[in-house]
Amino acid sequence: MSTQSAISWHAMPAGDIAHAVSSDPRTGLDAAEAATRLARDGPNVITTRRGRPWWVRFLLQFHAPLLYILLVAGLVTWWIGEYADSAVIIGVLIANAVIGFVQEQKAVTAIDALARSMRIEATVRRDGVRHRVDAAVLVSGDVVLLEPGDKVPADLRLIDGKVKDLHVDESTLTGESKPVSKHSGCLPPETVLADRRNMAFASTLVTRGAAEGLVVAVADLTEVGRISEMIASATGVATPLTKRIASFSNLLLWLIIGVAAIAFAVGIARGNPASDVFMAAVALAVGAIPEGLPAAITIMLAIGVSRMARKKAIIRRLPAVEALGSTTVICSDKTGTLTQNQMTVCAAWCVGAEYEFTGSGYSPEGEVRVAGQTEPVRADEHAALREMLMCGALCNDASITARGGAWQAQGDPTEAALVVASQKLASDGLNSAELTARFPRLDVIPFESDQQFMATLHERGTEALGHTLAPVIYVKGSVERVLGMCDSAMSLNGKSVPLDQPTIRS
C-alpha cells in the first residue's frame, strides 16, 4: 500500500491508470471484485487515534507544577494535624480537576458526535450500473461520478472525456478560497499538490460541473489521510499561559523553600526546639502557597471556553483558549482563509438606472432600491431589472438553503450571490425555486474559462390563447464576451433600445 501511495497519478495517462488499478472506466468494478478489495484493504475510513481513557484524562488535570506544590502542601498540612487547611487545599485541587475534566469531556463528546454525523455517500458505477453507496465501501479502482454539491469521497484521477466544467472547492486541503477548475490531461511529475488539476481529492467539495474519476487512494493513503497522520504524530506545544505558570511555580517553589529554610535556621539559632521550629517553617511554607490561584485560572478559562462554544468553536483543552487570546499576528495569504468566503450583490446597472441591494451574505433578507432612494422597487415596474435577475437565477447551478438557523450555499459563491439577489424580490415572483419550475431547463452550455460565458435554454409555457411560446436563452459571463453577442439593450420599460457599448465599457 505504501508503494501505491507513492505513485504520481497526476503524471500518468488515464489509460495507464485504469490498467494500474485493474478497472474499466466504462463499466467500473464488478460487485464481487469490489467486495474482495474491500475485505483486503479495509473500509475507506481514516484511522483515528484511540483516545485516552476517562480516568487518565482526569488524572492529567493534576499535571501542572503549581498543582504538585499544592498537593504536597495538602499532604504536609494533613501530616502536621491542620486538617481544615488540608481539606481546603485538597478541595481546591479536586474542584480544579473536575472543572477541567468536565469541559474537556464536553469537547470530546461534541467532536465524536460531529464525526459520527458526517457520513458521506458517493455515486459509483459498478457492473455498468450507477449506485449510491456509503463512501466507506469505496475501493481502489471504483469509478466515482461527481456532481455539484458532492463531497469527493476519495482521491480520484479524473477520466479523459468525462470532465465537464468541473470546479472543486479545495480550501480544506490547500487553503485556496476560490473553486479550482479541473481537467483530465497529464501533468509533470513535479507538479505540486495545489496545481494537480487532473485530480480530485478526498474531503473537497464539487461546486460546479460534472466528472468521472477512478479511485486511486482511499482511507489513510489519501492526501487528507496523510495530513491526519501528521497531525496525530505532532508533539504537544505548551501555551503561553502554561509556560508562565510553570515558570512562576518553579520560582515560587524555590522561594518558599528558601524562606522556610531561613526561618528554620533562625529558629534553631535562637535556641528553639527543633520540632517546633520545623512545624513553624512548614506552616509558613504552606501559608505562602496561593491555593486559590489554580481554581481562579481554571474558572476563567472555563468561562472563555463556554463563550467560544456559543460561537460554535469547540475547544478541547482549557489552555488553548488563552493561546487564541494571546495571538498578536495572523499570517494569511488568502482572504478566504479569514473571511466567510461569501459574495453579495451590492449594486446593479441597467440601461438608465442604477440599483442598490441591501443585506449581506447568503441571507435573502434585504431590499432592492434605486440608487439614492429609500423606497424598495417592484419588479413589475422595472422590466430590465426583472429580466436581469431572472437570468441570474435561471442561468445558474447554485442554490441556497436554510440549515440550523443559517443560510448556506451549495455551488459556486458567485452564482449563489446571484440567487440571493433574485430572492430579495421573491415576493414579486422571482423566487428561484418557482422560476425553475415555471421555466424548466432544456439544455445548458456550461461555463468554460476559454469561452467566458454560461448559457441555458428554458421553456416558457403557453400564452393565454394557448399558443406555445418559443424557448428563451439566458446568458451570463464576462462583460467583454457578453457584449460581443448583443446588438441591443432593454430599457427600463422593457423596450428594445440601441446598445451603447462605449458607455458600458467605461
Alpha helices in 118-222 (DSSP H): 171-174
Got the DSSP string for 309-355?
HHTT---SSTHHHHHHHT------S-HHHHS-------EEEETTEEE
Question: What's the DSSP call for residue 210?
Answer: E
H, E, C per residue of 446-460: CCCCCCCEEEEEECC
Contact 181, 250 (CB under 8 A): no
What is the amino acid identity at position 128? G
Q: What grid cell was written down for 387?
A: 429580466
> How would DSSP label each residue in 99-127?
HHHHHHHHHHHHHHHHHHH---EEEEEET
**Residue among 454, 469, 479 at smallest CA distance from 395:** 454
Give which of 217, 44, 214, 200 is closest to 120, Cα–Cα. 44
Which cell numbers hold the place of 385?
Answer: 431589472
Q: In Å, what is the CA distance from 242 to each residue of 139, 247, 248, 298?
A: 45, 8, 10, 12
**Which residue among the candidates 160, 333, 397, 500 is catalytic per the annotation?**
333
CB 66 within 8 A of CB 293: yes
Q: Contact, 418 vs 345, CB < 8 A?
A: yes
Sequence letter at residue 294:
P
41 is catalytic: no
| Reduced DSSP (H G I as helix, E B as strand, rest coil) percent helix, strand, coil of the chain, to 5 | 45, 20, 35
Q: Residue 83 in 3-state DSSP?
A: helix
Neighbours of 327 (CB within 10 A): 8
List the beta bridge partners of residue 496: 490
Residue 449 one-letter amino acid: S
Catalytically active residues are 333
